[in-house]
Homo-oligomer: A and B are copies of this chain.
Amino acid sequence: MARLALDAMGGDHAPAAPIAAALLAVQELDASHTIQLVGRESVIREQLTAQLAAAPAILVEAATRFEIVDAPDVIEMTDKPSVAIRGKPKSSMAVGIRLQSEGNSDAFISAGNTGAQMAASTFILRLHEGLSRPAIGTIFPTAKQPVVVLDSGANVDCSAAELVQFARLGHVYARDILGRENPAVGLLSIGEEPEKGNLAVKEAHQLLVDAGLNFIGNIEGRDIPVGACDRGPIDVVVCDGFTGNVLLKFYESVAPVLFGMMMKAGVTKAQLGTIAHQLDYAKYGGAPLLGLKGVSIICHGKSSPEAIKNGIFAGLRAVESRMSQHIGEQLAK
């Protein structure tokens, strides 16, 4: 019985992509759940009508279960983060997130302006005790199981204590969302020895030894694509948001570059399709903003309807697993 608020105005392909995502999701979702479409009501109705024109009756019927929540302001991808709080208080972001703080929704999902979503989520939902900013946990496909890398961009200058918080957030994420029983947490460094790393990492290593987590020690850049180090599989990669963001964008870019080389070497599209599917970020859906007293899921601005649909399901899993509550308990340890 989750109520999932979807930002109908957010993303490079809004409103078409979020509405299409909602129509994909409603076909898979148990009827006890509700999708709340947040945005300009006239735009949403028009888009829904257009997309449902050629749809089978069963989908037209399912779409009547959408709840439409009017939000007249629209946050542009180029707006500064603060606009979400002060400049446009009736935006789909502010309204959609406020539904949660008012007890009328359980999760918010958006492919819109990430900075604005982070600011509005933090301001309206607030953070668990001891955190100064939410962290972004991103899923990296590997040769084995996907791993969650955090922080991947929200916190650039990090103290050792913040790295330990990321480890706690990642532990809960990997358990609640990815279903890993006792998540293996690795600290990203430049050597596996505890004395290797920058100042924050070296101090964090010592703190993590006693943090009550399944800390497997330092891991290196080479271990991430493999999904394992010589001490076993990895579930969580802890790093500052500068390193995480650089790595994330590097990874997103290196596969297409290699694919381009392969096409020149005569590899067929069918062969590439298999690999591209394994590396497809879309199937992992959105990234939760971790540390909030509530659920706010970030989808990539370029998200396809399929990717946003997976973001909706990521929101559902966060609600059903009570991830935010577990994070609060974990941080209090």
Copy total for this chain:
2
Chain B residues near A260: list those with CB within 8 A: 143
Q: Is the CB of B243 within 8 A of A246?
A: yes
Interface locus among A30-38, A263-271, A280-288: A263-271
Q: Is the CB of B258 within 8 A of A258?
A: yes
Task: Tell me the complex Cα distance, A81–B5, Å.
Answer: 57
Looking across the interface, which residue of chain B has its beta carbon closest to that of A272?
A: B265
Assess A271 versus B275: contact at CB under 8 Å? Given A221-B246, A246-B243, A254-B251: no
Chain B residues near A240: list those with CB within 8 A: 198
Interface locus among A97-105, A223-231, A314-322: A223-231
Q: Is the CB of A261 within 8 A of B143?
A: yes
Q: Is the CB of B220 within 8 A of A249?
A: yes
Task: Tell me the complex Cα distance, A275–B261, Å.
Answer: 6
Q: Is the CB of B157 within 8 A of A199?
A: yes
Q: Is the CB of A222 within 8 A of B247?
A: no
Looking across the interface, which residue of chain B has its beta carbon closest to that of A143?
A: B257
Task: Tell me the complex Cα distance, A258–B157, Å.
Answer: 32
A301 interface residue (CB < 8 Å to B): no
Task: Tell me the complex Cα distance, A253–B251, Å.
Answer: 11
Q: Mark each residue of chain A from 159 to 191: 1 if its CB lies under 8 Å from any CB of chain B, else 0.
A: 000000000000000000000000000001110
Name A's interface SS. Answer: helix
Q: Is the CB of A250 within 8 A of B271?
A: no
Q: Is the CB of B253 within 8 A of A224?
A: yes
A194 interface residue (CB < 8 Å to B): no
Query: Could you say which interface size class chain A belongs to?
Result: 35 or more
Chain B residues near A246: list those with CB within 8 A: 188, 190, 220-221, 239, 243, 247
Q: Is the CB of B190 within 8 A of A253?
A: no
Q: Is the CB of A198 within 8 A of B142?
A: no
Q: Is the CB of B257 within 8 A of A267?
A: no
Chain B residues near A278: list those with CB within 8 A: 261
A242 interface residue (CB < 8 Å to B): yes
Assess A249 versus B262: contact at CB under 8 Å? Given A153-B190, A243-B242, A257-B143: no
Q: Is the CB of B253 within 8 A of A255?
A: no
Assess A245 versus B143: contact at CB under 8 Å? Given A156-B198, A198-B156, A266-B271: no
A274 interface residue (CB < 8 Å to B): yes
Chain B residues near A224: list those with CB within 8 A: 250, 253
Q: Which 10 residue pairs spanning A and B have beta carbons closest together?
A: A221-B249, A221-B250, A222-B253, A222-B249, A221-B246, A225-B257, A265-B274, A190-B245, A156-B198, A225-B254
